[in-house]
Structure 1
Amino acid sequence: MSPATSASPLDALDHRPELAPIFPEIERAHAVLADCLRREGRIYICGNGGSAADSEHWAGELLKGFYSKRPVRSHEGRRLPADLRGIQGGLPAIPLTGFLSLRTAVANDIAAELEYAQLVWALGRPGDVLIAISTSGNAQNVALAAKAARLKDMTVLGLTGAHGGKLRRLADPCLRVPADRTHLIQELHLSIYHALCLSLEATFFPQD
């Protein structure tokens, strides 16, 4: 998958001047994700509670059109039968918050804190990216997933609050937003991942 152009996530963050101190890290995050997708890697996302909802939301914006219709590439489109012509181009993003049977089996048979680590170990490949979301940075199942990802030679992209917690040492880059209260952290996370989705869409599905 080769992009025809490039876009900056900062184009969509004019309304969030409080994020200015981490703008360079947000641009790094875009570069990491774009490089993974260029090499046909996959993006995995995990988190708990509101961050689990963010994982599903983020993946949803990547898997189909966000602001553009994302036409299927011409050589692929020619193979589609008429009743599949509405399919859009997607970017491979897998929310680890799914897999209900597997996660409950891990919790029952092994240990609940290994639910995401098990999925990373089974699915992850060198060059893939794990997006680890934790407002405190200390969620144990998310931190263990990050450790597993590093052992698999994956890149770990962290989103946390100001302190960073365990993910501060496990993720590179680690986007530590300037907030300490959970709902404010989550609001800033939403702005960041929407901006990253827009920039990736513009990069891989440029509009005429």
Structure 2
Amino acid sequence: METSVSVSSTQDPSSSPLEKHPSSADRNGDLDSEGGSGLEEAGFNWGEYLEETGASAAPHTSFKHVEISIQSNFQPGMKLEVANKKNPDTYWVATVITTCGQLLLLRYCGYGEDRRADFWCDVVIADLHPVGWCTQNNKTLMPPDAIKEKYTDWTEFLIRDLTGSRTAPASLLEGCFCPFPSGPRRFAQPFLHRWDEARSGEYE
């Protein structure tokens, strides 16, 4: 039987929202770090190229989407909910490892220091949500298959992992989000409720 849990957390109140646009990219808008992100061109020198072609670089003001992402206050260590890459109808909590313009390097919670499954995603088009979104919208929160058997109690793991952590501001991801009440007792209740439903087979 598949394990599913739900989380909630008070959000950091900061920054302006990023508008998400339709795209033909996959649902996660991600680039697998194992296969290479395409962010670097080996042996290519941008300055030499401009000189040889007589071209001039476009001003940075032409790339407002990058300016917005830089000002968005995404920081390494922040937590958010993201669709599972191999099962996009379910979600899991991930940690921001680093940022590069509008790209985020994410790692699903539960991988610890293992970087092999890190992946890049485009914040403008990826299926990203603040922590607590799954609980509010009755979505399934489920660990990736690769680490599903790593812990016997994922509810307890997430409570420990998220307690005291920084979450990506809801205004950054959704524009508007009503945070759940803070405090250890209220924090744990949504986990346990959904966990009990999953164990009884009433929640999928």
TM-score between the two structures when normalised by the length of structure 2? 0.26
Higher relative contact order (CA 8 A, sep 6+): 2
Which is greater in Rg?
2
TM-score between the two structures when normalised by the length of structure 1? 0.25
Specify which structure has the higher proportion of helix. 1
